[in-house]
Chain A
């Protein structure tokens, strides 16, 4: 999240800080950030960003090549830096062979195809402020994922060949984020396969947008 972390009276961090998070019975807890300072000592800062979560439902038509567990943990890793937990509320397998290669048109936010409408109709009682991610074999045309969704049915599709960061990237779109020209950031428009310094960053303005979304809710 930051390249040089101010450690207060002592000095500045000389390397990228590490982040530790805790999960308790109340959900996501404040962040603990550790870094080595200019004095070679291990320094620690504690940041309370409040308790917010994305509640996500996973619907699998085809399992991705990068495992679901890896995609979800990668998303958790990035979202934790924004003080947002990722709660996988449910996982369901869907047998919908005609939507497994789903037509997403130009994948324009606010615009959906007939097939996207059909796919996103399979929310199966998911709450209005919860996100559904459909894992499909492919999209037509080929995208790693696509976050355009019908009104009132927030969600995204992720294709089998997506990267470990695509899930977090697409949900980022659903939360209101747009592409940036920076391969250090989750929302890079140059391809999450090209992220140069994992985990990718979310900057303050993006954190504010994510936390202001009605899709980030109390954990």
Chain B
């Protein structure tokens, strides 16, 4: 039976969505999730992006990739948080969020890289190493340094 927009909306409307349960809607939810992710409501968009990442297909990556380019940093932070569910996310997407102009987005991206990968691809490692030295936020520099120390480089 096809997944309706109302079914998807019902999951995203919750103050505290049950994401694992909502992910059982499966790939048929993608057209609706994409629509919410591209909409004007940053809360709904953020929830849609995260849910898409949990469903875990190529379409997930596409939705997260689009969210990473949104002007609203809340949506980009959601994209950065979604990276932890996408171990197949392209390095270009990781690097784009690690280099985001918003410190919160960079922090979330760094946490996601650490949470989702046993080791760092070379170009991502270069980026994190640069963050550990040059990020304008001293606490983020410290966090990045810790990630470099904990994760090996591929």
Contacts and interface: CB of A to CB of B under 8 A. Distances in A.
Given A97-B137, A100-B104, A101-B104, A145 B16 contact: yes
A98 interface: yes
Nearest to B43: A161
Contact of B111 (A103, A106, A138, A192): A103
B13 A101 contact: no
A98 to B, nearest CB: 5
A98 B46 contact: no
Q: What interface size band does chain B fall in?
A: 20 to 34
Contact of B81 (A137, A141, A193): A141
Nearest to B103: A97
A183 to B, nearest CB: 10
A59 interface: no
B27 interface: no
Contacts of A141: 17, 19, 46-47, 50, 78, 81-82
A161 B15 contact: no
Given A97-B104, A101-B108, A141-B78, A191 B46 contact: no
A98 B16 contact: no
Nearest to A192: B15
A35 interface: no
A168 B81 CA distance: 27
B110 to A, nearest CB: 10
Contacts of A160: 42, 74
Interface of A: 97-98, 100-101, 103, 106-107, 137-138, 140-146, 159-163, 166, 169-170, 189-194
Interface of B: 10, 13-17, 19, 41-43, 46-47, 49-50, 73-74, 77-78, 80-82, 103-105, 107-108, 111, 137, 139-140, 143
